[in-house]
């Protein structure tokens, strides 16, 4: 028999995480057997980072017609609109972008074995791989878990990756290093019971200072900026920011939140969001809408009230004792770069890709990745290079690059030479050529125009002109999204674009809306202005006209933001005149095809997005989990492990009871005695959990097993409990239905 990763990695994966992945694997099996509802399964996999991808509705436009993709699994679905065999995207959470060399190697391996050998760094410091088959995901997760990476809550209506400035700890302008705080908050909220009932996703970011861009706190659901008050550390805290179709600047929640209040406040905010956030209208379900609806004062009042009634949790402050244990160290001693011969292109690279750390003698080196992509081989070799120069001080950035921190200055040329070998020494990090783009039409179902195609084109064109570009525009940021959802963060770019389309001459023509003058600095403090839609093929010309005009006409030291404000929409429109025109198809068909594609443009490939997840209530979710446990107990029984069968079946019943109790008593602890008693008084004595024909019969199953002392786990005893668990869960569903809250 062939080996399996579960056994192979057993000792390396923490037990609870291993068990979660086993459960997910069991749910995949259950789904194949038709035992889980499509919607519940969709949200289940999304919360494991297993996302749909373009064409997963089982069809694709080939340039002439839309053809069905005849997958072997036929009409088995993994979500309401998502075909089972269709390849999907796996999002991998990298809290604050922090990577170790071992993790880089495993990432390289899984991209090779399950994906296409390409790792993609996202605009929120995550890593994505594409074209994954769902049945490979449990092993993929195990291999990641063995090196301390989870994909849990990477998508779905949950707490997404917690981001932080990639320079934290080494930056000149920071107040203090936010890394250990972001780590603590991410750990605390991961899988937290109070974060399982959101109507939408929730994104958190940390920033070390207010003035730089790195943290982008203003565009997050919750953002923290490091502050010192009376010699004590804390956070200026914001809530309710966000991009998307309706961007919002975050509102000030507190000028100074002390570290011991960070975790409980975040928890209280999550509880208020879970309770009061919109659940039906997906377009208004982010917390930004709740904050806008209530007003920030009322929102703060509610959170403070919630904070008071929450049961005390030692985890709130336990992390404070560990803060001092977080130290980053260099591998090499600090030494200047003395007299080493510099290769010809070294200086140009160093100018843009080297940042001198606050710590004398050390630098941060940026590896610019085109479109955020890196091959498995490069990633593996980069891990080797990293080992040579630094400890595990590596981070992914929101600009879709990778940085090595704590490089001794004396090593910079040698590092550069090594990077050249890997073809990873492209200059221009953080400049106009370092274009950011969302996945767009390449892999996203919602993509309208090709953000990556345009980004690749601009990158090539601008890199060729780079030496001639005026200094005033060299550090511009270009950010592109394939549609208004703004995953490419176009609102906070100098030159932002998002995909749309126009019907012209009987054809649908790919366009981009031009968004100018967004602010990247000061944590994304202001958003750009939309200037009108331009055909995709004319976007390079738009950039040329606007940047030329700015260089020629700006007033002394006038920023691009100020210049756009000054000249206003009307002048910009005039400047872009002529570029909105689309020639007839017979004259120039190229306008009717998008960048990076050869097919005639279509909207026919768009699908229903999974970004909003499925609204599945907490109880439905938990009951579905109980069904999985019950399913697992049946398997144990089949395998002859009667004790495990008995215990798992009991646990399934207990959790079903707990799910019901939680509708009235959110903080019921994970204690069998308490759950059973709460269930007895709240559901049994009140006859809420009461079968029309069988009375309290099903409830008694739970009570009996809870009290039972088993001397020997025989097959008969185990079998009985396995059967009872199934009935109990069915009754729990019925009870929940009658409570009228489905």
Contact set with ligand SF4 (CB under 6 A): 438-440, 444, 446-447, 451, 481-483, 485-488
Nearer to ligand SF4, 23 or 481 (CB): 481
Are the C-beta atoms of residues 142 and 20 closer than 8 Å to each other? no
All residues at 6 or more sequence positions from 708 whose CB lies less than 8 Å from its CB, including other chains = none
Nearer to ligand HEM, 141 or 721 (CB): 141
Long-range contact set of residues 175-179: C-beta below 8 Å, sequence gap at least 24:
175/208, 175/209, 175/226, 175/227, 175/228, 175/233, 176/208, 176/226, 176/228, 176/233, 177/208, 177/326, 178/206, 178/207, 178/208, 178/215, 178/224, 178/226, 179/96, 179/98, 179/326
Q: Does 477 bind ligand HEM (CB under 6 A)?
A: no
Q: Does 92 bind ligand HEM (CB under 6 A)?
A: no
CB of 249 to other proteins, least distance (A): 34
What does 481 bind: ligand HEM, ligand SF4, other proteins, none (CB cut-off 5 to 8 Å by kind)?
Answer: ligand SF4
Nearer to other proteins, 12 or 584 (CB): 12
Written as one string, the DSSP assignment of 177-232 is: --HHHHHHHHHHHTT-GGGS--SS-B-EEEES-SSSSTT-GGGSSEEEEEEEETTE
Among 20, 25, 126, 236, binds ligand HEM (CB under 6 A): 126
- Residues between 221 and 280 that touch ligand HEM (CB under 6 A): 243-244
What does 440 bind: ligand HEM, ligand SF4, other proteins, none (CB cut-off 5 to 8 Å by kind)?
Answer: ligand SF4
What does 599 bind: other proteins, ligand SF4, ligand HEM, none (CB cut-off 5 to 8 Å by kind)?
Answer: other proteins
What does 124 bind: ligand HEM, ligand SF4, other proteins, none (CB cut-off 5 to 8 Å by kind)?
Answer: ligand HEM
Nearer to ligand SF4, 27 or 486 (CB): 486
CB of 269 to ligand SF4, least distance (A): 25
Written as one string, the DSSP assignment of 245-278 is: SS-BPPEEEEEEE-HHHHHHHHHHHHHHHHHHS-
Are the C-beta atoms of residues 497 and 513 closer than 8 Å to each other? yes
Are the C-beta atoms of residues 231 and 197 closer than 8 Å to each other? no
Pairing of strands 77-79, 222-229: unpaired
Among 118, 611, 657, 705, binds ligand HEM (CB under 6 A): 611
Are the C-beta atoms of residues 368 and 434 closer than 8 Å to each other? yes
Spatial distance between the Cα atoms of 639 and 630, rounded to a whole number of angstroms:
14
What does 122 bind: ligand SF4, other proteins, ligand HEM, none (CB cut-off 5 to 8 Å by kind)?
Answer: ligand HEM
Pairing of strands 163-164, 204-207: parallel
Spatial distance between the Cα atoms of 694 and 684, rounded to a whole number of angstroms:
13
Are the C-beta atoms of residues 181 and 212 closer than 8 Å to each other? no
CA distances from 248 to 287, 292, 499, 527 (A): 10, 9, 20, 9
Nearer to ligand SF4, 412 or 435 (CB): 435
Spatial distance between the Cα atoms of 255 and 275, rounded to a whole number of angstroms:
25
Nearer to ligand SF4, 202 or 683 (CB): 202
CB of 97 to ligand HEM, least distance (A): 10
What does 169 bind: ligand SF4, ligand HEM, other proteins, none (CB cut-off 5 to 8 Å by kind)?
Answer: none
Nearer to ligand SF4, 430 or 607 (CB): 607
Among 30, 90, 397, 489, binds ligand HEM (CB under 6 A): 489
Residue 168: other Cβ atoms inside 10 A: 28
What does 718 bind: other proteins, ligand SF4, ligand HEM, none (CB cut-off 5 to 8 Å by kind)?
Answer: none
CB of 534 to other proteins, least distance (A): 23
CB of 493 to ligand SF4, least distance (A): 13
Nearer to ligand HEM, 438 or 668 (CB): 438
Written as one string, the DSSP assignment of 465-504 is: HGGGS-HHHHT--EEEESSTT-TT-GGGSSEEEEEEEEEE
Contact stretch for ligand HEM (CB under 6 A) within 290-298, 354-362, 482-490, 504-512: 482-490
Spatial distance between the Cα atoms of 546 and 539, rounded to a whole number of angstroms:
11
Nearer to ligand HEM, 352 or 450 (CB): 450
Nearer to ligand SF4, 21 or 480 (CB): 480
- Residues between 146 and 205 that touch ligand HEM (CB under 6 A): 160-161, 203
What does 123 bind: other proteins, ligand SF4, ligand HEM, none (CB cut-off 5 to 8 Å by kind)?
Answer: ligand HEM
Question: What does the block give as tokens for 237?
Answer: 């805290």
All residues at 6 or more sequence positions from 358 whose CB lies less than 8 Å from its CB, including other chains = 170, 171, 172, 174
State the sign of the Cα–Cα–Cα–Cα dihedral 532, 535, 539, 545: negative
Give me the count of residues in the chain. Answer: 742
Contact stretch for ligand HEM (CB under 6 A) within 118-126, 616-624, 664-672, 709-717: 118-126
Question: What does the block give as tokens for 49?
Answer: 């980072």
Among 23, 157, 218, 486, binds ligand HEM (CB under 6 A): 486
Pairing of strands 204-207, 222-229: parallel
Are the C-beta atoms of residues 688 and 661 closer than 8 Å to each other? no
Residue nearest to ligand HEM (CB): 611
CB of 461 to ligand SF4, least distance (A): 21
Nearest to 539 by CA among 458, 430, 468: 458
What does 373 bind: ligand SF4, other proteins, ligand HEM, none (CB cut-off 5 to 8 Å by kind)?
Answer: other proteins
Q: Does 633 bind ligand HEM (CB under 6 A)?
A: no
**674 exposure class (CB count in 10 Å sphere: 0-12, 13-18, 19+):** middle
Spatial distance between the Cα atoms of 169 and 181, rounded to a whole number of angstroms:
12
What does 482 bind: ligand SF4, other proteins, ligand HEM, none (CB cut-off 5 to 8 Å by kind)?
Answer: ligand SF4
What does 257 bind: ligand SF4, other proteins, ligand HEM, none (CB cut-off 5 to 8 Å by kind)?
Answer: none
Contact stretch for ligand HEM (CB under 6 A) within 303-311, 486-494, 546-554, 688-696: 486-494
CB of 663 to ligand HEM, least distance (A): 29
x/- mask, ligand HEM, residues 426-465, rule CB under 6 A, reads ------------xx---xxxx-------------------
Spatial distance between the Cα atoms of 648 and 315, rounded to a whole number of angstroms:
28
* Residues in touch with other proteins (CB under 8 A): 2-5, 8, 54-55, 60, 62-64, 67, 69-72, 85, 87, 105, 108-109, 112-113, 116-118, 130-131, 133, 139, 370-371, 373-375, 377-378, 380, 423, 442, 453, 456, 459, 596, 598-599
**359 exposure class (CB count in 10 Å sphere: 0-12, 13-18, 19+):** middle
Nearer to ligand HEM, 138 or 439 (CB): 439
Q: Which residues bind ligand HEM (CB under 6 A)?
A: 51, 89, 122-124, 126, 128, 160-161, 203, 219, 243-244, 438-439, 443-446, 485-487, 489, 609, 611-612
């Amino acid at each position: 028999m062939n080996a399996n990763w579960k056994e192979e990695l057993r000792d390396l994966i923490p037990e609870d995480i291993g068990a979660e992945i086993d459960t997910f694997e069991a749910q995949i099996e259950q789904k194949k057997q038709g035992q889980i509802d499509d919607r519940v399964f969709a949200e289940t996999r999304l919360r494991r980072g297993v996302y749909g991808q373009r064409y997963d509705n089982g069809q694709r436009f080939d340039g002439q017609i839309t053809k069905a993709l005849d997958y072997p699994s036929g009409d088995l679905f993994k979500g309401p609109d998502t075909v089972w065999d269709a390849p999907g995207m796996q999002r991998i959470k990298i809290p604050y972008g922090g990577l170790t060399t071992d993790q880089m190697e495993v990432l390289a391996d899984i991209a090779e074995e399950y994906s296409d050998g390409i790792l993609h760094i996202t605009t929120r410091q995550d890593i994505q791989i594409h074209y994954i088959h769902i049945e490979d995901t449990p092993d993929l997760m195990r291999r990641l878990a063995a090196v301390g990476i989870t994909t849990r809550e990477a998508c779905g209506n949950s707490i997404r990756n917690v981001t932080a400035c990639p320079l934290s700890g080494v930056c000149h302008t920071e107040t203090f290093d936010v890394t250990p705080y972001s780590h603590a908050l991410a750990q605390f909220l991961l899988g937290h019971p109070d974060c399982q009932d959101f109507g939408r996703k929730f994104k958190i970011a940390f920033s070390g200072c207010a003035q730089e861009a790195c943290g982008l706190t203003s565009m997050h659901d919750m953002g923290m900026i490091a502050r010192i008050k009376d010699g004590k550390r804390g956070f200026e805290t914001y809530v309710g920011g966000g991009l998307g179709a309706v961007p919002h600047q975050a509102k000030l929640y507190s000028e100074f939140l002390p570290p011991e209040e960070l975790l409980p406040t975040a928890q209280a905010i999550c509880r208020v969001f879970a309770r009061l956030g919109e659940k039906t209208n997906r377009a208004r379900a982010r917390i930004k809408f709740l904050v806008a609806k209530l007003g920030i004062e009322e929102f703060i009042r509610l959170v403070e009230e919630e904070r008071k009634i929450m049961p005390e949790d030692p985890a709130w402050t336990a992390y404070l004792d560990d803060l001092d244990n977080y130290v980053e160290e260099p591998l090499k001693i600090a030494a200047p770069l003395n007299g080493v011969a510099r290769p010809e292109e070294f200086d140009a690279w160093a100018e843009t890709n080297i940042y001198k750390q606050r710590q004398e003698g050390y630098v941060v080196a940026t590896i610019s990745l085109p479109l955020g992509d890196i091959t498995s081989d490069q990633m593996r070799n980069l891990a080797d290079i990293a080992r040579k120069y630094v400890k595990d001080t590596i981070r992914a950035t929101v600009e879709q690059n990778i940085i090595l921190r704590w490089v001794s200055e004396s090593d910079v040329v040698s590092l550069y030479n090594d990077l050249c070998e890997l073809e990873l020494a492209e200059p221009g990090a953080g400049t106009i050529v370092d274009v950011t783009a969302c996945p767009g039409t390449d892999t996203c179902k919602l993509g309208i125009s090709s953000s990556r195609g345009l980004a690749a084109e601009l990158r090539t064109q601008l890199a060729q002109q780079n030496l001639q570009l005026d200094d005033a525009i060299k550090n511009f940021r270009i950010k592109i999204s394939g549609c208004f959802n703004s995953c490419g963060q176009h609102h906070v770019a100098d030159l932002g674009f998002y995909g749309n389309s126009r019907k012209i001459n009987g054809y649908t023509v790919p366009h981009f809306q031009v968004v100018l003058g967004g602010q990247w600095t000061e944590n994304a403090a202001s958003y750009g202005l939309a200037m009108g839609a331009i055909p995709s093929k004319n976007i390079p010309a738009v950039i040329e006209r606007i940047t030329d005009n700015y260089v020629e006409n700006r007033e002394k030291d006038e920023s691009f933001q100020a210049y756009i404000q000054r000249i206003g929409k009307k002048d910009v429109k005039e400047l872009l005149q002529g570029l909105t025109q689309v020639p007839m198809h017979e004259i120039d068909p190229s306008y009717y095809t998008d960048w990076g594609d050869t097919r005639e443009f279509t909207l026919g490939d768009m699908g229903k997005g999974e970004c909003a997840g499925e609204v599945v209530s907490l109880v439905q979710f938990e009951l579905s989990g109980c069904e999985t446990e019950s399913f697992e107990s049946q398997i144990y029984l089949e395998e002859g492990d009667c004790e495990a069968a008995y215990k798992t079946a009991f646990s399934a019943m207990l959790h079903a009871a707990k799910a019901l109790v939680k509708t009235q008593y959110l903080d019921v602890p994970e204690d069998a005695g308490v759950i059973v008693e709460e269930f007895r008084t709240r559901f049994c004595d009140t006859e809420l959990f009461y079968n029309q024909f069988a009375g309290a019969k099903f409830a008694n199953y739970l009570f009996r097993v809870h009290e039972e002392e088993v001397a020997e786990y025989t097959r008969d005893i185990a079998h009985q409990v396995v059967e009872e668990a199934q009935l109990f869960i069915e009754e729990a569903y019925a009870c929940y239905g009658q409570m009228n809250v489905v």
